Amino acid sequence: MKTIKAYVFDAYGTLFDVHSVIKQCNKLFPNKGDELSQIWRNKQLEYTWLRSLMGRYVNFNQVTKDALVFACKSLGLSLDFSKQEILMNEYLKLKDYPEVKNVLKQLKNNTRVIFSNGSQDILQPLVKNSGLDQHLDAILSADDVKLYKPHPASYTHVLEKLQLKREDILFISSNPWDIAGAKSFGFHTAWVTRGKKTMDELNQSPDWIIQDLRGLLEIT
């Protein structure tokens, strides 16, 4: 896209499959992997929103741990320290979706950055383990402003870091609420559906809807 100066990617669910934890969940808690992963992710998101609203920020690593504790309690699964370590460690090696690396390479004439709720302590190892660090110019985190997406202060952080204007940004996320937040803020937005069918009813529509990142190569 000619007027775009930077591609800004959400990380969890967009570049990385948060549900790649299912395999290890199933090893520790047989047949509970799908359900555990689902509750874990849902609560992780809820806690980012609730803590931002309450004014009780803790970083994404802690939120993720808290959500795991909740998920296990709610399913009656006994999470000891060792199991917690094993599962939290999975968050540092989530799989990147198959097309991601190749598409990032092809976008190399533009600035390519991650903007994530993830704190650097878990985001940097993840990006490094996946090898995506070779194809990214920066990793930005909402942790710097202690307010999670979709709070406008979080998206503002991207502009300050990149020294760009809202209309210079194409923001890419698979999370409908994140797309709504970014669009409401004034970014151009591409919703990567990744199999999801239903956009959130927040009165904000994505500018583009693509199935995976290869769709970005068609946006001109």
Tokens representing 156?
């503002």
Contact status: 78 vs a copy of itself (CB under 8 A): no
Contact status: 198 vs a copy of itself (CB under 8 A): yes
**Inter-residue contact 36 to 70 (CB < 8 Å):** no
What is the total count of residues that contact a copy of itself (CB under 8 A)? 32
Phi, psi of 60 (to 5 degrees): -65, -30
* Pairing verdict, β 95-96 and 16-17: antiparallel
* Other Cβ atoms closer than 10 A to 27: 12
Least distance from a copy of itself to the Cβ atom of residue 38, Å: 12
Contact status: 79 vs a copy of itself (CB under 8 A): no
CB closer to a copy of itself, 111 vs 174: 174
Cα 211 from chain centroid? 16
* Other Cβ atoms closer than 10 A to 203: 8
Contact status: 56 vs a copy of itself (CB under 8 A): yes
Which residues are identified as catalytic?
10
Q: Site residues (CB under 8 A) for a copy of itself? A: 43, 46-47, 49-56, 58, 66-67, 69-70, 73-74, 148, 150-152, 177, 180-181, 184, 197-198, 200-203
